[in-house]
Structure 1
Amino acid sequence: MSDAVPRRQLGRTGLAVSHIGLGCSGFWGNRRFPEVEAEKIVRRALERGVNFFDTGINYSGYHAEPRLGRILQRAFSQWPRENLIISSKAGTVTGQAGIHGEARDFSPAHIEQCCAQSLRNLHCDYLDIFQLHGIGEHQLTDELFTALEQMRRAGMFRFLGINTHSRSTMQHLAKHPGLFDVALIDYSALQQDREPVISAMHDAGIGVLAGTVLAQGHLSTNRMLQLKRTADIWYLARALFKPSSRKLMLGAAAMRNTIARIHSQAPAQTAFAYVLQNPAVASCILGTTQLDNLELILDTRIDALQKEERERIIETFGDGEASPSH
């Protein structure tokens, strides 16, 4: 299947994003994963019509963002910069490869410094979306927003985003829709309790992006039994070390079994179809180190998930087997 990936409107931004975006973080940016292999994934995504690329300055020990920049710089002659939507993040200042502790710095000086560094790393004059990584509503100060508006007017970025896993922060965004243009949140079949606040953000004009659609992989495989590559071990370690990932892992068995019994397409595709059937979601972010996984997800048929199959997924969540998110 070689059809181009469909696009959706991203809230009030006017941007049309591919409904699957490529997340350039995690092991994708790890030095043990060859850059030539990472470039194959980016180029194949571009060939399939993916126009949205998401990264962050601290990902993979600060190596993922420069790697994406080098790869895109080589690709711009064929896929011009102005046709792509590039997003990065700032605010997280520690944490190697996503499995250790993190600290945050949302001081205006640090945020502007990170954004400037991201532009250099990505070989871009501007970011389409600049996200504050893990900021809480109590950290949203007038001083910070004044600095961000000055950065926007200076042309450093076009739209302001937030990357949050906090339901209270999402609710705050919905109640104050003028603060952010875009929200990247964690959302999967294991987090159906997110759906009212997702709808509220969408109704407020905020573009909603969904990450961790496979719940760190636990909706498509039993990762404990399939540790074949260094990347598999890395992702399992992240699931064991991060509290939010452990929660998803512990609550995944019943949902994984339900999804596995839906045979219209592969389990991972069913998981993506569930999220993409939500009209409030503009794009799902996929992170992968394997070309066949990329092709699989890009081939997802949203309408293959029938009404009664979707109802089985909803029923499984309602049975209380799946842990609600916070």
Structure 2
Amino acid sequence: MANTTAVHGFELSPIVAGLWRIADWNLDVRQRVRWIEQALELGITSFDHADIYGGYRAEALFGEALKAAPGLRDRMQLVTKCGIRLRAAEKPYRINHYDSSAAYVRAQVEQSLRNLHAEQLDLVLIHRPDYLMDAAALADTFTTLTREGKVAHWGVSNHSSSQFALLHQHHPLVTNQLELSPLQMSALDDGTLDQAQQLRARPMIWSPLAGGRLFTSDDAQALRVRAEMSAVASRLGISLTTLAFAWVLRHPSRPHPITGSGRIESLREAMAALEVQLDAQDWYAIWVASKGHGVP
């Protein structure tokens, strides 16, 4: 099993399993238990959720598996997110909006604990930056829920470097979950990955395969990137999936990429990236293909 890595006393497996689409996998409880066991056997011990995933159903589907096989809980890290009020049949908000108020964060943390049949969440992220966030008040909420033993660590997702810094000055954050892929590279230039290195707070990376666009899109950027990556992958004897994860992992912020597939083979391809030594020229060749021009 791959070793977990600790930063500020916090541990995640090098590759994280994302459960965004678990409701679409159509697995019964026994199959969900087996899927978790197989992920753990590969060395993937961290599982990424959000309260809104799967129309507010994803956590409960995973939790049913943990209830059926309670011994699994001690072998994993549970990550979830809150802060988006998403309209749904049972939640008739006028519009989708963000909420980082103490009452809402507490309510969602406690609901996630019930959904996941867990006594504590290893990591909770504020899912999107709330423009009405009172950083000091939210930090107090973090402190209280940590003191109560409900949440071990806190972080954010999709926050700019200044938004991260504002909250981090009031309460320590262990990660910023960001989008990064050969087709979406803004995190390389917007300061968020620089900040992650500065603070040694390893980022989590969502959509390293660009939501599948890397394999299916026929726009000019995707065609350039796929052609370049296919050539590199062929030379290295690896799959495009493995190369995409290796490209993300090459960044010195030491990111934790998140998978999005229910296929165990896809998880295996992601883990294979840990063995790839991608040199700087191959990394930049993919960057050039994505940008459509050479380095400045």
TM-score range, shorter chain: 0.7 to 0.9
**Aligned match of 2:4:** 7
**Aligned match of 1:162:** 156
The answer to whether the Cα contact below 8 Å between 2:12 and 2:46 also exists between their aligned partners in 1 is: yes
Amino acid at match of 1:186: E
CA distance in 1, matches of 2:194, 2:108: 31
Unmatched runs of 5 consecutive residues or more in structure 1: 225-248, 322-326
Equivalent residue runs for 1:303-322 within 5 Å: 303-319=276-292
Corresponding residue SS for 2:51? coil
Aligned counterpart in structure 1 of residue 13 of structure 2, from 8, 15, 18: 18
The answer to whether the Cα contact below 8 Å between 1:213 and 1:272 also exists between their aligned partners in 2 is: yes
Q: Does 1:112 align with 2:112?
A: no
**Aligned match of 2:239:** 266
Q: Give the TM-score normalised by structure 2.
A: 0.84
CA distance in 1, matches of 2:116, 2:127: 18
**Aligned match of 1:203:** 198
CA distance in 1, matches of 2:207, 2:220: 15
CA distance in 2, matches of 1:76, 1:223: 41
The CA deviation at 1:106 is 2.0
1:85-129 CA distance string (max 9 Å, x none): 111111122156xxxx84322221111011001111111111110
**Aligned match of 2:58:** 64
Distance 1:172 1:113, change over 3 A: closer
CA distance in 2, matches of 1:25, 1:252: 23
Q: Give the TM-score normalised by structure 1.
A: 0.77
Equivalent residue runs for 1:94-243 within 5 Å: 94-95=86-87, 102-136=96-130, 139-164=133-158, 166=159, 169-174=160-165, 177-178=168-169, 179=171, 180-195=173-188, 196-219=191-214, 221-222=215-216
Equivalent residue runs for 1:271-286 within 5 Å: 271-286=244-259
Corresponding residue SS for 1:300? helix
Unmatched runs of 5 consecutive residues or more in structure 2: 89-94
Distance 1:142 1:177, change over 3 A: closer
The answer to whether the Cα contact below 8 Å between 2:100 and 2:138 also exists between their aligned partners in 1 is: yes
The answer to whether the Cα contact below 8 Å between 2:204 and 2:256 also exists between their aligned partners in 1 is: yes
Let me know the Cα RMSD of the aligned residues: 2.6
**Aligned match of 1:228:** none
Q: Which has the higher contact order (CA 8 A, sep 6+)?
A: 1
The answer to whether the Cα contact below 8 Å between 2:202 and 2:256 also exists between their aligned partners in 1 is: no
1:254-298 CA distance string (max 9 Å, x none): 222211221121011100001111231341111112222222222
CA distance in 2, matches of 1:317, 1:159: 35
Corresponding residue SS for 1:88? strand
The answer to whether the Cα contact below 8 Å between 2:16 and 2:258 also exists between their aligned partners in 1 is: yes
1:195-252 CA distance string (max 9 Å, x none): 3431322321323111110010122x1168xxxxxxxxxxxxxxxxxxxxxxxx7743
Corresponding residue SS for 2:50? coil
Corresponding residue SS for 1:189? coil
Q: Does 1:76 align with 2:78?
A: no
Aligned counterpart in structure 2 of residue 53 of structure 1, from 43, 47, 54: 47
CA distance in 1, matches of 2:102, 2:65: 30
The answer to whether the Cα contact below 8 Å between 1:8 and 1:16 also exists between their aligned partners in 2 is: yes
Corresponding residue SS for 1:159? strand
The CA deviation at 1:35 is 4.6
CA distance in 2, matches of 1:256, 1:171: 34
The answer to whether the Cα contact below 8 Å between 1:254 and 1:316 also exists between their aligned partners in 2 is: yes
CA distance in 1, matches of 2:250, 2:25: 36
CA distance in 1, matches of 2:29, 2:97: 28
Corresponding residue SS for 2:203? strand
Corresponding residue SS for 1:191? coil
Distance 1:290 1:223, change over 3 A: farther
1:129-174 CA distance string (max 9 Å, x none): 011111246524322222222111111101111111x5xx234325
**Aligned match of 2:82:** 90
Distance 1:33 1:6, change over 3 A: same
